[in-house]
Structure 1
């Protein structure tokens, strides 16, 4: 053991863990290579638990183009001051090819959700069912969930997946809703042939059937959003009187429960998405056909219908989003009221609340011709080996993640006018 390491380990382990957990992730990963005692300490559940609340929230962005599927993880530093501008500082934590890291060749992956650094992925491939993976990019670990017997392969089929953590027991769970029905709109409710809800608790290696909620159809309006121990989805009620509703699945009780509907919107009520901003559920109404206005409603008090508040009106999105029926998803709200959003998995754009203008945000994906999948992500050192019974695998050594030791980059919006993008001299502007 080196002299520095010997001095460090004279400190009580709690103090040493507290110190090391405040280091940047690339530095922590480098410390794992110093000596075996440090590696063992940084691999303990105590260190993972100490680091998690100190981890800087960020983004996980996956890019798809032809046969390439790269993954980038960013940390975002939310800084604001009294000046009339906002600097978005970010740090590229790591970059890798997720599909090849999991040893997949003919599969396309899509993000179900991210909770405490664990990412749930759904694959589409040649198999007659969707394969589900849970991975931690920082620890380079992943598990493949067991396949589901008697899966539905006929069309039309609606699938909805969700990933979250139960509020009391702290168990991580994957929820799968599926139903197959007649394709004729007038016969949907009367001709639902199969409908089920399955739950998988990480560590049990088995799917369990639970009581279903009302038949649904999401039409890719929103994913199952994890908030306050529940999964939420904006869906269509096939058999009820309400056109659109918010489904709510309690991960602790493993049951659906009533939830207040979204706020009143325009005639085309289906043109909306759910999101989470500042730990509050929000609803984006994108139903305006002609004026391109996006209205963001925020549920200030969770579960209280009267707390829906119209908080943002975005009206300068021309050139950043497509036609009125396209969907916009919120990703992050900043301290000064600015918002980072995604349009139809093609563009990331930034809404400045003070000037009411929008700007395209490239985040090292400039001149990219494929689609993107961007979700909030908070990196952690939680080991999948802590889930007894799971077969934990490591990323393929052929494509190890790259951890760049670079200073945080800064996107300065001071000089940017509406629908324009300006970056400082860090090589991230448009070419």
Structure 2
């Protein structure tokens, strides 16, 4: 089949195709064999990833299944009526015979998703776009904190497990993808207590919000994936220490939610660290009011426990997940917050487990550093 498209210089053709979304590329592969060959090359997939925009990854539980969905997001604002699903995967495919527990998303790096399953003591790394995964057994049954990221210099993908056992002491285990085994890393600090079992990855470091007796309030505990050393820095002075704040990332900044002034209005402050590692750069960026219908059982005192910031749009508006049940949209201009009705089919009979941003990758799982040595399974 001859097309005027292929009479153009190859540089122009690539420039055109690299602007397509993952969904459009999947459709284009069906047009003709020349396009199928070009769009299926490693070089094209690698170049496309460098230009790819983040998508929304979220898990949903129904009465009889868990599903992982990836949806495209607009850069300017949320559109409840237009969201193309890139993939919709049964969380428990037949290939995963022992994968029978409730699993959760634990992070996203270079187009890869990290999932963990406590009941079966397993970790999973997947490329949901190519529908591939591999799993690793946890080094210990009682692991309580996890993390997934990539080192800044060597580019090694690593899983990290923290196993506290009292008095601030803990064991740290690291699995470098491709090595096939866990190794213990000596800790040069005390871990303390954390309410979040999954670390937040940013700037080559894994981060937990921790609290321990020697410190009067929460601090951020860091693990450098390159040096494999621990450090910590302070959060801004808070009204009270509650030991239940969680870390997230927004616009490549660390952030966390806190109650506004404890005045019963349910308002939540989103703090952002504008300069990484600079404690003076903590800023009160947003004040939002989540849906109070999800407050209760004492949570009306700590509404920030229910709020998960996900994405900041170009106009400054924020997409959030509230109460693991509904998506909400906060307008920075009007200072108002609204529920996104019918977003992704929400309704009775299911709830969201968690959500995060994922940059879709067309690269096969074995294309990533170290992955050629892993037992990759397609589903």
Query: What interval of TM-score do these two structures reach, taking the shorter chain for normalisation?
Result: 0.7 to 0.9
8 Å Cα contact 2:65/2:91 also seen in 1: no
Deviation at 1:56, TM superposition (A): 2.1
1:349 aligns with 2:340: no
8 Å Cα contact 1:272/1:284 also seen in 2: yes
Counterparts of 1:211-250 in structure 2, within 5 Å, are 211-212=186-187, 213-220=189-196, 223-237=198-212, 239-250=213-224
Deviation at 1:119, TM superposition (A): 0.5
Compared CA separation, residues 247 and 368, structure 1 to 2 (3 A): farther
1:279 aligns with 2:252: yes
Q: How many residues align?
A: 365
Calculate the TM-score normalised by the size of structure 1: 0.77
Matched residue SS, 2:24:
helix
Deviation at 1:64, TM superposition (A): 0.9
Give a deviation string over 1:14-46, Cα, whole Å, max 9, x none: 654443222221232234445666545434332
Q: CA RMSD in A?
A: 2.6
Equivalent in the alignment of 1:176: 161
Compared CA separation, residues 272 and 363, structure 1 to 2 (3 A): same
8 Å Cα contact 1:262/1:283 also seen in 2: no
Compared CA separation, residues 225 and 35, structure 1 to 2 (3 A): same
1:385 aligns with 2:376: no
- C-alpha separation between the residues in 1 aligned to 2:154 and 2:328? 37
Compared CA separation, residues 9 and 177, structure 1 to 2 (3 A): farther
Counterparts of 1:17-416 in structure 2, within 5 Å, are 17-33=14-30, 38-79=35-76, 90-100=83-93, 103-104=96-97, 106-125=100-119, 127=120, 130-145=121-136, 147-149=137-139, 151-153=140-142, 159-181=144-166, 188-189=167-168, 195-212=170-187, 213-220=189-196, 223-237=198-212, 239-259=213-233, 261-286=234-259, 288=262, 290-315=264-289, 317-319=291-293, 321=295, 323-326=300-303, 327=305, 328-361=307-340, 362-372=342-352, 373-386=354-367, 387-395=371-379
Deviation at 1:318, TM superposition (A): 3.2
Compared CA separation, residues 393 and 277, structure 1 to 2 (3 A): same
Larger Rg: 1
Which stretch shows the higher mean deviation, 301-310 or 88-97?
88-97
Which stretch shows the higher mean deviation, 247-256 or 365-374?
365-374
Matched residue SS, 1:46:
helix
8 Å Cα contact 1:99/1:108 also seen in 2: no
Counterparts of 1:1-12 in structure 2, within 5 Å, are 2-4=1-3, 8=6, 12=10
8 Å Cα contact 2:134/2:374 also seen in 1: yes
**Unaligned stretches of 5+ residues in structure 1:** 81-85, 182-187, 396-431
Matched residue SS, 1:275:
strand
Which stretch shows the higher mean deviation, 197-206 or 104-113?
104-113
